[in-house]
């Protein structure tokens, strides 16, 4: 099972859950139960100048990556100034709020896991009666059990080609942003770049993946169907979806990718060609 959503297919609108607890907040659900997902809650979010999302907490984990603009995020008893390229995790049950004191809208990609309940069903987001439960702090970093919960990475930090270490495939750069070492429990978030000609062959996983294309164009093969995905396109692969990616263009392609649930400790990739060879050996 898979999904492909173009950039004009997810208009920003008022989120009913936050309507009475926010000002200037718009939301677009990218991946959720409507697409067949059972683990992933991916969304695009925007907060207008002088907008706010009041103090609240969830029964799910929330990770976010700022795409543009800047905002103040109060989390627990800490306050951080976030700009494009910043990312953070709000762990399950951690009170947090957003405010935009600038003159430009702020936009961010948000990953929620376990997947939030559909509106009108079981509640899993709760708003603080007393916003003072969130107290600003002068400390610049946040930690949980020794692990950081806030960081920064943007495309300007991708190392030159000659200084890269091959990760999943030749010509592919991978940067883990949110994972277990970062303090997350239910999901991962990573940054990927494919150089022209780079590809990863057909494989599948025991977890769901979503992909938010930032730049360039990638050819994606999902369950035997081929798609071209450019900036703003969202792809999603369900558990067991056989998929592959190739940069068939002349410019690098970059995207943000999520995993949920977190991968097993071994046998993360199941490459089809590898298992065909092993099958031929034993047969």
Domains of the chain: 9-152 (2.60.120.10), 155-282 (2.60.120.10)
Q: What percent of the chain has pLDDT over 70?
A: 91
The pLDDT of residue 165 is: 65
pTM for the full predicted model: 0.92
DSSP string, 184-239: -SS-EEEEEEE-TT-EEEEEE-SSEEEEEEEES-EEEEETTEEEEE-TT-EEEE-T
Provide mean pLDDT across the span 232-258.
97
Q: Helix %, strand %, coil % for the chain, to 5? A: 10, 50, 40
Each residue of 57-96: pLDDT tens digit? 999 999 999 999 999 999 877 888 999 999 999 999 999 9
| pLDDT surpassing 90 at residue 37 | yes
Each residue of 116-141: pLDDT tens digit? 998 888 999 999 887 665 544 434 44
Provide mean pLDDT across the span 100-121.
94
Who has greater pLDDT, 102 or 76? Answer: 102
C-alpha 134/C-alpha 56 separation (Å) is 10
Each residue of 159-209: pLDDT tens digit? 887 766 656 678 899 999 999 988 899 999 999 999 999 999 999 999 999
DSSP 3-state of 8: coil
């Amino acid at each position: 099972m898979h999904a492909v959503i173009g950039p004009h297919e997810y208009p920003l609108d008022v989120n009913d859950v936050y309507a009475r607890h926010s000002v200037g907040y718009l939301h677009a659900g990218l991946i959720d139960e409507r697409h067949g997902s059972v683990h992933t809650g991916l969304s695009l979010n925007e907060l207008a100048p002088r907008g706010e999302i009041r103090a609240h907490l969830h029964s799910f984990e929330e990770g976010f990556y700022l795409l543009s603009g800047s905002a103040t995020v109060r989390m627990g008893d800490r306050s951080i100034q976030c700009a494009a390229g910043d990312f953070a995790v709000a762990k399950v049950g951690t009170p947090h709020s957003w405010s935009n004191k600038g003159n430009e809208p702020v936009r961010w990609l948000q990953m929620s896991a376990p997947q939030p309940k559909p509106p009108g069903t079981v509640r899993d987001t709760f708003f603080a009666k007393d916003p003072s439960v969130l107290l600003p702090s002068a400390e610049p970093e946040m930690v949980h059990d020794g692990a950081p919960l806030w960081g920064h990475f943007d495309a300007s930090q991708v190392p030159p080609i000659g200084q890269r270490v091959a990760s999943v495939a030749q010509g592919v750069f991978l940067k883990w942003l949110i994972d277990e070492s970062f303090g997350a429990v239910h999901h991962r978030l990573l940054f990927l770049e494919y150089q022209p000609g780079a590809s990863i062959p057909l494989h599948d996983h025991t977890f769901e993946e979503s992909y938010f294309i930032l730049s360039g164009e990638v050819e994606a093969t999902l369950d035997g169907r081929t798609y071209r995905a450019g900036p703003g396109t969202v792809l999603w692969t369900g558990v067991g979806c056989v998929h592959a990616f190739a940069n068939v263009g002349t410019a690098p392609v970059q995207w943000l990718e999520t995993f949920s649930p977190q991968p097993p400790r071994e046998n993360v990739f199941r490459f089809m060609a590898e298992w065909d060879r092993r099958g031929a050996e034993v047969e």
